[in-house]
Structure 1
Amino acid sequence: MASAALSETCHPAQPLMVWLRLGHVVSVGASMELDTHSSALACLGVGVDEPFTVRPDGYPDITARSFLFRARERHKVVRSAGRLLFCYFDPTSARMTRSLGGMRRNVFGFGIDHHREAELIELCNHPRLDVDRVLELASVPGITVRDQRIALAANIIRADPASRYRAAQLAAEVGLSQAYFLRLFAEQTGTSFRRYVQWARMLRAAHGYLSGHDATRCAIDAGFSTPSHYTDVFHRMFGFTPTHLARMDARLHIDDRYDRSTTTPVTIRSQ
């Protein structure tokens, strides 16, 4: 199932490229032509080659070069030609507010025309996509954990995401009250404790693909109770399923560390 990595390029001839990290996802490629759906993550969409048209549930179509998809709002991309850049990010932090502040216009309550859209488009036409710069321009900062107690808790989760973690247990282990631990954890990691565990499990499942394991083993090894549980959580987060990604022959670049100097690529293919 895994194969050697292609260049991290946005060239139209390349398959869908996906960069999966703790707290956010970046993808570049053709539209997946999904049905009307919603996801648990907010998403900035940018038409790399030309504008695209979105049909928010209950509203007229909106055509724009960039569009901020709000978490848990049903929508469908009804027309897109060329490549689309999507930056998914967790809405449980200030990231959503910062990205919303970067939209220059409001149509029916939806933000369009990101003020850095031209720079984002230019990045996608470089031979190698600078994902960190994309996230910076999209107002999605990388994770910076300054408190060593939170860093320790985060390391424990990432080292063994399949464990059944309880906030009270980890708070006591790092010497904090549960209430302060949860608040500080969200501030430092950019997401809630519960969502961080889900992200860690998603990354572990993706690493399972790199090892050539089937979907069932990947799901169980990552801590999901069943493969269907994994699929349900994946769908709630992103609005599509792992199977849908497999049909696209997506090139998935996994990075579950704070050091962004390297990533581990793997191709997700249908079974």
Structure 2
Amino acid sequence: MKNAQRSQLFLWRGCSLVIGPGIDSRFHAHFATQLTWGLDAPFQARLAPDLPWITTRAAIFGSNQPHQIHCEASLLAHLFIELPQRSPAAHSVLVADYDSAAGFAAVRDGLVPARHGGLDLQQAGQLAQDWLACTTLHDRARPGFDHRISQALASIAAHPVQQPLSGAELAASVHLSASRFTHLFRQQTGLSLSRYLLWSRLMAAVDAVARGDNMTHAAHGAGFADLAHMSRTFRNTFGVVPSELQKMAIAFKREEK
């Protein structure tokens, strides 16, 4: 029987943490690097339909790497690391070893209250940083990350998601040609500008649900044509339907004005 515990979602700019009963997913891919750990038992994962299931307690799913998770009744923790906090060279590792690092003991201990919904946003943020520190993905200010792309990412974050800045506008704001900006953005981030903007819209929809909006208003507010459009995009990205959000206790950090 599936665990009836309510899932918890903690959301920050650039990072999100989901803790709760495992949800069997379809094959999906997203540009965030994902770390998954079984709180009380191993789970199963695979990277292609023709590959065997691998039983593991700790896994890393690389950016844009299709994957699928299957579990029975165990609780899972998923840490999604967005840009520019991740290394674009991160690869999927179905049997990862970050949980054997000395610092991961603090993460294990910190997740104990999560079993009973007793984790707050500040505690979750510390857990996320402790978890990252046990991996090679913890270097938030990656050497060589171009300041013009950092500036463009900040502009995207500050702009209304319903009316995203165009590539030409972003290029002009950092004094680059459109073609050079497009090339540099992909080179630095590992994905196209359109994919990054799509992810931002999905995060805006999650944010809206966390604020109390219904799913239809969240979809429109995030710039999707309708709820069906957002649902397809959400399922293709995360492997589950967005109505799962309504089953979660969501906490998020509001951006400073």
Task: Output the TM-score relative to the length of structure 1.
Answer: 0.69
- The one-character-per-residue Cα deviations of 1:68-117 (angstroms, maximum 9, x if unpaired) are 3454535341x44432122334699973633x3xxxxxxxxx73332211
Which residue of structure 1 aligns with residue 10 of structure 2?
19
**1:181/1:21 CA distance change after superposition, 3 Å:** farther
Which residue of structure 1 aligns with residue 89 of structure 2?
97
Report the structure, 1 or 2, having the larger helix content. Answer: 2
Which secondary structure state, in structure 2, belongs to the residue aligned with residue 194 of structure 1?
helix
- The one-character-per-residue Cα deviations of 1:49-68 (angstroms, maximum 9, x if unpaired) are 22223355223332121233
1:18–1:28 Cα contact (<8 Å) kept = yes
| Equivalent residue for 1:61, pick from 46, 53, 61 | 53
Which secondary structure state, in structure 1, belongs to the residue aligned with residue 224 of structure 2?
coil
Q: Give the count of matched residue pairs.
A: 233
Which residue of structure 1 aligns with residue 128 of structure 2?
131
Unaligned 5+ runs, structure 1 = 1-11, 101-109, 260-271
- The one-character-per-residue Cα deviations of 1:123-164 (angstroms, maximum 9, x if unpaired) are 043153322222343444476597664454334322211114
Q: Distance in 1 between matches of 2:148 and 2:84?
A: 21
| Aligned-pair Cα RMSD in Å | 3.5
Q: State yes or no: 1:75 paired with 2:68.
A: yes
| Equivalent residue for 1:37, pick from 6, 12, 27 | 27
Q: Distance in 1 between matches of 2:188 and 2:61?
A: 25
**1:139/1:245 CA distance change after superposition, 3 Å:** farther
**1:163/1:144 CA distance change after superposition, 3 Å:** farther
Which residue of structure 1 aligns with residue 202 of structure 2?
202
- The one-character-per-residue Cα deviations of 1:238-264 (angstroms, maximum 9, x if unpaired) are 111211232xx212233475x8xxxxx
**1:45/1:176 CA distance change after superposition, 3 Å:** same
Which secondary structure state, in structure 1, belongs to the residue aligned with residue 182 of structure 2?
helix
Letter in 2 for 1:44: L
2:88–2:190 Cα contact (<8 Å) kept = no
Q: State yes or no: 1:117 paired with 2:109.
A: no
2:161–2:201 Cα contact (<8 Å) kept = yes
- Segment drifting more, 114-123 vs 45-54: 114-123
Which secondary structure state, in structure 2, belongs to the residue aligned with residue 43 of structure 1?
strand
Which secondary structure state, in structure 1, belongs to the residue aligned with residue 29 of structure 2?
coil
Which secondary structure state, in structure 2, belongs to the residue aligned with residue 86 of structure 1?
strand
1:143–1:189 Cα contact (<8 Å) kept = no
1:203–1:254 Cα contact (<8 Å) kept = no
- The one-character-per-residue Cα deviations of 1:187-239 (angstroms, maximum 9, x if unpaired) are 66675422332232223223322443221121112111221121222222211
Letter in 2 for 1:238: F
Which residue of structure 2 aligns with residue 47 of structure 1?
38
**1:205/1:53 CA distance change after superposition, 3 Å:** closer
**1:144/1:198 CA distance change after superposition, 3 Å:** farther
Q: Distance in 2 between matches of 1:197 and 1:142?
A: 23
